[in-house]
Amino acid sequence: MNKRHRVSAATAVVGLVMACAHLMGATNAYADDVKPSAPPGTEPSAVAPVPIDSNAPGLKIPQGGTLAPIKVLDIAEVVEDLGGEQRRQETNQTVMMALQSEVLFPENSAVFNAQAAARIQAIANEINTQKATRVRVFGFTDDQGSYEHGKELSKQRADAVQAELAKTVTSPGVIYDVRGYSEDYPIADNGTEEGRKKNRRVEITFPRSTPAGAS
């Protein structure tokens, strides 16, 4: 196992907390062609600790002034192994595991290599530990080749990972949201091979059973 080290702690500032039905569905594997309004994984998960009354006199807002929209700081901790093959991102509500495509599939293929099953089963075991019943499996490519080919390949890879997860995940009635996004939502510079490797990935996201920091 590669030695792991913490490489960054990122924050995402979000606007007013809004209800989201992104993962709703009646079947065990669900996906559609509607893109989210924000990149996958950046939807708000933190909530405001207390309601704020913009008319409260204690705020001492100058005459004619208004209270800016409420913003919630959602802190994400990112840990990446030394080779960058696997990346883990946690917020107080969710866990996201990203695997570079090269550690799962041969080039331009959605057929697993010999090491893929063990990596995916390890993630499935954590999904079981967290007792998650909703799991997102999103595939991504770099910007090489046509967009449509990337979309097809990224979806095929996401489907393959979901099918492998389902062999180990034991939560009854788990709902999977499976999508392929082609070159959309890059996390690194597509101008370098190192960046393109990071962009060619499958992300698996699931809720924590106990929010971070809870006792």
pLDDT at 24: 37
Pair of tokens at residue 32: 């559609």
Q: What is the H or E stretch that residue 81 is in?
A: strand 72-81
Q: Which pLDDT tens digit goes with each residue over 7-34? A: 333 333 333 223 333 333 334 665 555 5
Residue type, 64: G
CA 178 – CA 139 distance, rounded (Å): 8
- How far apart, in whole angstroms, are the C-alpha atoms of residue 39 and residue 46? 17
What integer pLDDT is reported at residue 2 of this predicted model? 41
- In the numeric block, which tokens belong to residue 106? 């041969």
Amino acid identity at 160: A
Specify the pLDDT at position 28. 61
What are phi and psi for residue 157, nearest 5 degrees? -70, -40
**Alpha-carbon span 161 to 203, nearest angstrom:** 10
Can you tell me the distance from the alpha carbon of 186 to that of 154, in angstroms, rounded to the nearest whole number?
13
User: What pLDDT, on the 0 to 100 scale, is given for residue 13?
Assistant: 30
Does the predicted model carry a pTM greater than 0.75?
no
Query: Cα–chain-centroid distance for residue 73?
Result: 18
Contacts 24+ apart (CB under 8 A), 148-154: 148/182, 150/182, 150/183, 151/180, 151/181, 151/182, 152/180, 153/108, 153/110, 153/180, 153/182, 154/180, 154/181, 154/182
pLDDT per residue over 148-206, tens digit each? 999 999 999 999 999 999 999 998 889 999 999 999 999 999 999 999 999 999 999 99
Q: What is the number of other CB atoms lying within 10 angstroms of the CB of residue 8? A: 10
Distance of CA 64 to the CA centre of its chain: 42
